[in-house]
Structure 1
Amino acid sequence: MNLFTIENAGADLKATNYWDSEHASAGFCFLSANAGTWRLLVPEAAEHLLVEMRTGKRATIEPSIQAAGCVDVVFEDGSASPFSIAIDKRQMDRAALPGRCRLAVWTQRGKVLDLACRVR
Structure 2
Amino acid sequence: MRRFDLKEDISLLKIVNRGPEVVETNFWELEMAREGFFYLSFNAGAGRFLVPPALQHMVKDMIEKVDMVILTLGQLRGKLSYEILFEDHSDSPFSIHIEAKQADRILPESDCDKEFRFTIWTQQGKQADFPCRYRKVDRLPCLKPWDH
1:66 CA drift (Å) = 5.6
In structure 2, list runs of 5 or more residues that go unmatched: 1-6, 136-148
Matched, 1:104 2:115: no
The separation in 2 between residues aligned to 1:26 and 1:19, in whole angstroms, is 11
Alignment partner, residue 57 of structure 1: 67
Q: Which runs of 4+ in 1 moved over 3 A?
A: 64-68
Task: Please point out which of 46, 50, 67 is paired with 2:55.
Answer: 46
Structure 1 segment 5-84 matched on structure 2, within 5 A: 5-55=14-64, 56-64=66-74, 67=77, 68-84=79-95
Structure 1 residues 66, 48: closer, same or farther in 2, change over 3 A?
farther
Q: Is the 8 A contact 1:105 1:113 kept in 2?
A: yes
Structure 1 residues 65, 75: closer, same or farther in 2, change over 3 A?
farther
Structure 1 residues 10, 111: closer, same or farther in 2, change over 3 A?
same
1:9 CA drift (Å) = 0.4
Structure 1 residues 66, 84: closer, same or farther in 2, change over 3 A?
farther
Q: Report the count of equivalent residues.
A: 120
SS in 2 for 1:50: helix
1:6 CA drift (Å) = 0.9
Q: Is the 8 A contact 1:59 1:118 kept in 2?
A: yes
The separation in 1 between residues aligned to 2:82 and 2:117, in whole angstroms, is 16
1:71 CA drift (Å) = 0.8
1:80 CA drift (Å) = 2.1
Percentage of matched positions with identical amino acids: 38
Q: Is the 8 A contact 1:63 1:70 kept in 2?
A: yes
For the aligned residue pairs, the C-alpha RMSD in angstroms reads 1.4
**CA deviation profile, 1:14-73 (whole Å, cap 9, x unmatched):** 111111000000111100010110000001111111111012211010025765421101
Alignment partner, residue 132 of structure 2: 117
Higher-Rg structure is 2
The separation in 2 between residues aligned to 1:66 and 1:48, in whole angstroms, is 25
